[in-house]
Amino acid sequence: MSAAPDLERLARDYAAAGDWPGVAQIRDQQARAALQEGDLRQADSRLREALSLFVMVDDGYSAGRALADLAEVRLAQGDYLAAAELSGQAADRIPGDVQALTTLGYAEWQAGSPADAEVTFSRALHWDADAPRALAGRGQVRAELGNFVDALDDLDRVLAADLPADALPPAVRADARSARALALAGLGRTTEARDELARALAFDPDRKRTLAQADRIAALAVADVSDSLTSATD
């Protein structure tokens, strides 16, 4: 017999006994199982149930954790405004929570506010200076904002670390590499930029963020050539 029916039966038993904290924990476990299977819709549903129950039993910390996890789900679904709102609520309930702040940073960035995202990633890194996803996120937004020196510092640190896939997922690693390529190009290190971009493209040749960075790098290269020609004729 699978674990899922056992958990559902256990949830019914807890509910019959009035053990609502127990039901909340079961819903949270079911949400995590759904996330492992890539079922975002089921994870979203179970997390919302868990959140309601945690709030009902006045478990503020667990409610904050559920909000942070729910924000991650909404971020993965592309609902950046909801992700920002939920992660902001989580950070209010659990001040200094690195996961909530990191998710908020990514949500702000994807919603079109890279400057706000940089501040939020820095808040996360205040609590954990080596938090991989926050460091990768800040490096990327700094590159986007044209702060290439500081971007390179962040991205070099996170990419040099020997991290497992769950600490820095492959997609985030690829995005960090394409952002590093942009930072290198912005600093005039064109050959290194092309090598780094090739590493990012090797992960996924069709990844939209990598292709967008390739376009920006090409534009920077054209600008460098134009500047060089102008200087030569002066």
Q: Does residue 19 belong to any structural domain of this protein?
A: yes
Percentage of the chain exceeding pLDDT 70:
92
The residue from 113, 141, 160 where one domain ends is: 113
Q: Does residue 176 belong to any structural domain of this protein?
A: yes
Q: Which of 45, 98, 77, 195 is nearest to 87 (CA)?
A: 98
Is residue 166 predicted with pLDDT exceeding 60?
A: yes
pLDDT bin (cut points 50, 70, 90) of residue 1 is very low
Q: Does residue 65 belong to any structural domain of this protein?
A: yes
Q: Does residue 9 belong to any structural domain of this protein?
A: no
pLDDT bin (cut points 50, 70, 90) of residue 233 is low
Higher pLDDT pick, 234 / 122: 122
Look at residue 111 in the predicted model and tell me its pLDDT.
Answer: 92
Structural domain containing residue 29: 14-113
* Residues 227, 168 share a domain: yes
* Residues 234, 144 share a domain: yes
Cβ–Cβ under 8 Å, residues 131 and 98: yes
* Residues 170, 76 share a domain: no
pLDDT digits (tens, 9 = 90+) for 51-89: 999 999 999 999 999 999 999 999 999 999 999 999 999
pLDDT digits (tens, 9 = 90+) for 95-126: 999 999 999 999 999 999 999 999 999 999 99
Higher pLDDT pick, 64 / 226: 64
* Residues 148, 224 share a domain: yes
* Residues 102, 54 share a domain: yes
Model pTM?
Answer: 0.83
Look at residue 96 in the predicted model and tell me its pLDDT.
Answer: 92
What average pLDDT does this structure show over 186-198? 93
What average pLDDT does this structure show over 186-212? 92
Entry field: residues in the chain: 234
Look at residue 2 in the predicted model and tell me its pLDDT.
Answer: 47
Cβ–Cβ under 8 Å, residues 120 and 131: no
Cα 21 from chain centre: 29
Please give the mean pLDDT across all residues of the chain.
Answer: 89
